[in-house]
Amino acid sequence: MRRILITGATSAIAQEAAKHFAAEGDAFFLVGRDPDKLAAVADDLRARGAADVATAAADLLDLTRCSRLIGEAVERLGGLDMLLVAQGTLPDQAECEVDPALTLREFSLNAMSPITLLIRAATHFEPQGSGCIAVIPSMAGVRGRRSNYVYGAAKAALSTFLEGLRSRMGDVGVSVVDIRPGFVDTPMTAHLAKKTLFASAATVGERVYRSMVAGDAVVYTPWFWRWIALVIQLVPRSIFAKLPI
């Protein structure tokens, strides 16, 4: 039985990943800001076979609260084997461009709250010498696009942090998984027109589960985003700046 902390546990992608762990009888500490939604997710995971499900309501913009969550999960579950960080918001880029407070708020949820958790997680997992730390940055972090560079910058910061953390944790046998989905059909993207490249939360959640079990490093999901990322990285800056994306 694995003991798993999930932050942003009401996320559509996280819920789909958690279903696979629940079917294998794992135990959960679920963190989200809405107690009713959390209770519904917890009930679903119990029905699917989870050994134990505890929940905690927390607004993850509160970084002090964030920094206590690893300790709370360890205490409640009697230890911790895996962390999945799934909270995130897709900011309105145009509004952020004229509102520094909003930009920093978005940056805080998408980068600083995960990084706060990662610092505490490293302190737990490093001496333990085993475990898995998984986070869901994004394809958006691969390059700064004019249409969403606030979100992209936060996700890029997260991926860079994860790369360094992976080097450190690799020495002691802790896996650090950076999951970079493309477009996924979830509440976060409900307002966007659904084009052909959209994947389902079930597809991406299953990949999150598999990558955590395997201890993968960097995962693009669905698979074709790896090649799209490569092409995007190769486009010269002068051309990239002119693209209407």
Ligand X SMILES: NC(=O)c1ccc[n+]([C@@H]2O[C@H](COP(=O)([O-])OP(=O)(O)OC[C@H]3O[C@@H](n4cnc5c(N)ncnc54)[C@H](OP(=O)(O)O)[C@@H]3O)[C@@H](O)[C@H]2O)c1
- DSSP state letter for 111: I
CB atoms within 10 A of CB 218: 17
For the bound state, the minimum distance from the C-beta of residue 33 to ligand X, rounded and expressed in Å, comes to: 4
CB atoms within 10 A of CB 49: 13
Q: What is the dihedral of CA 54, 55, 56, 58, to 10 degrees?
A: 150
Applying CB under 6 A, the span of 33-41, 46-54, 169-177, 212-220 interacting with ligand X comes to: 33-41
Residue 189 touching ligand X (CB under 6 A) = yes
Nearest-10 crossing angle of helices 35-47, 12-23: 30
CB atoms within 10 A of CB 216: 17
Residue nearest to ligand X (CB): 88
Do 123 and 140 meet the contact criterion of CB atoms below 8 Å apart? no
Per CB under 6 A, the list member of 5, 6, 12, 45 interacting with ligand X is 12
Decide whether 31 or 169 has the Cβ nearer to ligand X: 31
Residue 37 touching ligand X (CB under 6 A) = yes
Binding mask 140-159 for ligand X (x = CB under 6 A): --------------------
Q: In the complex, which residues of this chain contact ligand X (CB under 6 A)? A: 8, 10-13, 32-34, 37, 59-61, 86-89, 109, 136, 138, 181, 183-184, 186-189
